[in-house]
Homo-oligomer: A and B are copies of this chain.
Amino acid sequence: MSKYTIGLDFGTLDGRAMLVDVKTGKEIVGASYTYPDGVIEDILPNTKTKLPPDYALQNPIDYLDVLKRVIPELLKKSRVYPENIIGIGVDFTSCTMLPIDKQGIPLCMKEKWKDNPHAWVKLWKHHAAEPYANKLREIALKGKEKFILRYGGKISSEWMFPKIWQILEESPEIYEAADRFIEAGDWIVLQLTGKERRSSCQAGYKAIWDKKEGYPSPEFFATLHPRLKNVVEEKLSNKIYPTGSKAGGLTLRMAQLTGLKENTPVAVGIIDAHSAVPACTVTQPGKMVLIMGTSTSHTLLSKEQKLIPGIPSVVEDGILPGFFGYEAGQAAVGDIFDWFVTNCVPASYEREAQKQGVNIYRLLEKKASKLKPGESGLIALDWWNGNRSILNKANLSGLILGLTLRTKSEEIYRALIEATAFGTRVIIETFEKNGLPIEELYACGGMPHKDRLLMQIYADVTGREIKVASSRQASALGAAMFGALAAGSEAGGYDSIKDAVTYMTSLEKKTYLPIPENVKAYNQLFTEYKKLHDYFGRGSNQVMERLKRR
């Protein structure tokens, strides 16, 4: 009898679940549920509370609804018996965090707090904690805190502590009312198992935790704000569990809600990007995994711990046990293309797409494919959502240069794709300059399967072959793989990630090889990109930051 695991993958806009055959990795069925409240940026749901700029919140009820809807749907569609489902893995965006009470109930679900934005989930891309991130960083650098070196001297506003500090300063009543602050991924595991099992992955990458050093000291936190002194002890779960380990078994209540068997093993949560790494077949150094969706995450394994300027995250055992896991990222990639299609593509293109029976993205791709590198004279800086790596400044913004009266929509679209590829190249070069060679790229996520032009541009810009994971839901597959680890070999799962990779993953036949003449053209354009990148990003002209602060 075949055994199965479920990978639960919570993204920025929806939650997906996938039922996977543990022996073959075959993805039996999938289901997804779009969060009705999506990303909350303007008005709090059911209120008139207008949000300040740079807010990005979510509604935790949307996450629960994912569980309630997609797991029964998997069972129904697949007709697999619940007893043959031997494990569940969970991956989630991060740092996506929320304040909860003693019972694990999010504060925003309580009448008393529902009108307070700080009671809600702060999504990873909530950037309003930027001033706190900057202050934290300054104080840490001034105090020569050891931890700040581990993060290349940078602290992102997307991380846990800037977000907590923002809550304390701007809504002390929420800080006091919160029994704990928790990663949304850990919160889902808590919902499933009744146990809080803080994941080493989230803690290491997003909460300044280290396997050897632990969290920053209470003395350090006290210099930020007296009330923060014991933030770890008072407001966070202090016990950390490695990825791939078992968090617990499914509760009776959750079993009833989902249709699964009580006590089905649930793995400790993992960040969505990191979950995809083994799903891309990668279990060794020199192979960078690009998870390309609304944002792009770049992960790399190494036996060595290096401090790389601008690559803020190196976590021991953070991705796979036995390796230092490096993570870099671009805060907006697919998001930029979506923004462009929603806000900048003219009605005439919409009509043309309808006529051709394709969507706007395919029409733009088709038109943009006919352009040669550099032909349009356009170049862009891909900082629509700030720069996460290497500059690590959320207040940077996007730029398009080279516009003329003849500039066409597809030219801008292509320039935006190229800009994101240049951003990836800056990251690759930074790794290499610091002694971590990168031979190949592995891609997964929403875009590599559907956008060939984009993949070719990335190969041409980076000058490297790109292999694509067969799975179209690599994070979910990875989560299912971790579910198989939580189950263990006795139950029909696996005891090592290598085994899980061997049986459960594969790559697409089509790979993307760099085209020499394009590589040459892009080398020139990249020089221009780099010059603009440094001019606007490294302090020569801080116009972006000045304009954004207004």
Contact = CB atoms under 8 A, between A and B. Distances in A.
Contacts of A374: 547, 550
Contact of A399 (B335, B345, B399): B399
Contacts of A335: 405
A548 B377 CA distance: 5
Given A347-B350, A399-B401, A531-B543, A339 B407 contact: yes
Nearest to A385: B405
B543 A401 contact: yes
A403 interface: yes
A526 B340 CA distance: 27
A336 interface: yes
Interface string A373-401: 01101110000110000000000011111
A532 B541 CA distance: 9
A406 B550 CA distance: 15
Contacts of A543: 379, 401, 528, 531-532
A419 to B, nearest CB: 11
B339 A377 contact: no
Q: What copy number does this chain have within its complex?
A: 2
Given A346-B346, A378-B547, A546-B528, A397 B401 contact: yes
A544 interface: yes
Given A345-B346, A377-B547, A548-B377, A385 B404 contact: yes
B406 A397 contact: no
B547 A541 contact: no
B407 A402 contact: no
A41 B405 CA distance: 11
A356 interface: no
Given A374-B550, A550-B377, A404 B408 contact: no
B336 A405 contact: yes
A343 B407 contact: yes
Give the 8 A-B CB pairs with smallest separation, nearest first: A398-B403, A347-B347, A347-B350, A377-B547, A399-B401, A397-B402, A344-B344, A374-B550
Interface of A: 41, 53, 332, 335-336, 339, 342-348, 350, 374-375, 377-379, 384-385, 397-409, 525, 528, 531-532, 535-536, 541, 543-544, 546-548, 550
